[in-house]
Amino acid sequence: MAETLALVVAAGRGRRFGGARPKQYARLAGQPLLRHTLRALRQHPAVSGILTVIHPDDRQYYDAATAGLDLLPPVDGGATRQASVRNGLESLAERRPERVLIHDGARPFLSAAVVDRTLAALDREPAAIAALPVTDTLKRGSGEPTVIAETLPRERLWAAQTPQAFRFGAILEAHRAAAGLDLTDDAAVAERAGLPVALVMGDPANVKVTTEDDLARTERALAAGGGDVRVGNGFDVHRFAPGDHVMLCGIAVPHTAGLSGHSDADVGLHALTDALLGALGAGDIGMHFPPNDTRWRGADSAHFLSHARDLIEKRGGRILHVDVTLVCERPKIGPHRAAMVERIAGILGLAAERVSVKGTTSEGLGFTGRGEGIAAQATATVRLPDAPW
Ligand code: MG
Per-chain mean pLDDT for the chain: 92
Residue type at 207 in one-letter notation: V
Query: Residue 92 Cα, ligand 1 centroid: separation in angstroms?
Result: 44
Query: Residue 320 Cα, ligand 1 centroid: separation in angstroms?
Result: 23
Model pLDDT for residues 14-54, shown as the tens digit of each residue: 655 666 688 899 888 778 999 999 988 988 889 999 999 99
pLDDT score recorded for residue 223: 67
Query: Residue 342 Cα, ligand 1 centroid: separation in angstroms?
Result: 21
Query: Residue 240 Cα, ligand 1 centroid: separation in angstroms?
Result: 12
**Is the distance from CB of 380 to CB of 285 less than 8 angstroms?**
no
**Which class for 163: exposed (0-12), middle (13-18), buried (19 or more C-beta within 10 A)?**
buried
pLDDT score recorded for residue 19: 64
Q: For 101-107, what is the mean pLDDT? A: 97
Q: For 336-343, what is the mean pLDDT? A: 97
Model pLDDT for residues 253-272, shown as the tens digit of each residue: 999 999 999 899 999 999 99
Query: Residue 65 Cα, ligand 1 centroid: separation in angstroms?
Result: 29
Confidence grade of residue 224 (pLDDT, cut at 50, 70, 90):
low
Query: Residue 236 Cα, ligand 1 centroid: separation in angstroms?
Result: 5
C-alpha span between 385 and 389 (Å, rounded): 12
Query: Residue 335 Cα, ligand 1 centroid: separation in angstroms?
Result: 23
User: What residues have CB less than 8 Å from 309, skipping those under 6 apart?
Assistant: 68, 276, 319, 347, 348, 349
The percentage of the chain sitting over the pLDDT mark of 70, rounded to a whole number, equals 95
- Beta bridge partners of residue 197, listed in sequence order: 127
Residue type at 268 in one-letter notation: G
Q: For 90-118, what is the mean pLDDT? A: 94
Q: Long-range contacts made by residues 195-198, C-beta under 8 angstroms, separation at least 24?
A: 195/125, 195/126, 195/127, 195/166, 195/170, 195/171, 196/125, 196/126, 196/127, 197/125, 197/127, 197/128, 197/129, 198/121, 198/122, 198/124, 198/125, 198/127, 198/128, 198/129
pLDDT score recorded for residue 389: 37
Give the phi and the psi of residue 91 in degrees, each rounded to 5.
Answer: -70, -15
Closest CA to 175 of 112, 292, 301, 84: 84
Is the peptide bond between 388 and the residue preceding it cis, with omega within 30 degrees of 0? no
Is it the case that residue 163 has pLDDT exceeding 60? yes
Query: Residue 239 Cα, ligand 1 centroid: separation in angstroms?
Result: 10
Query: Residue 248 Cα, ligand 1 centroid: separation in angstroms?
Result: 11
Is it the case that residue 387 has pLDDT exceeding 60? no
Model pLDDT for residues 28-37, shown as the tens digit of each residue: 877 899 999 9
Model pLDDT for residues 182-220, shown as the tens digit of each residue: 999 999 999 999 999 999 999 988 999 988 888 888 887
pLDDT score recorded for residue 16: 56
Is it the case that residue 371 has pLDDT exceeding 70? yes
Neighbour order of strands in the sheet with 47-54: 75-76, 47-54, 4-10, 99-104, 158-167, 127-133, 197-201
Model pLDDT for residues 278-291, shown as the tens digit of each residue: 999 999 999 999 98
Model pLDDT for residues 74-84, shown as the tens digit of each residue: 999 999 999 99
Query: Residue 263 Cα, ligand 1 centroid: separation in angstroms?
Result: 8
pLDDT score recorded for residue 388: 42
Model pLDDT for residues 113-157, shown as the tens digit of each residue: 899 999 999 999 999 999 999 999 999 999 999 999 999 998 899
User: What residues have CB less than 8 Å from 154, skipping those under 6 apart?
Assistant: 134, 135, 136, 137, 138
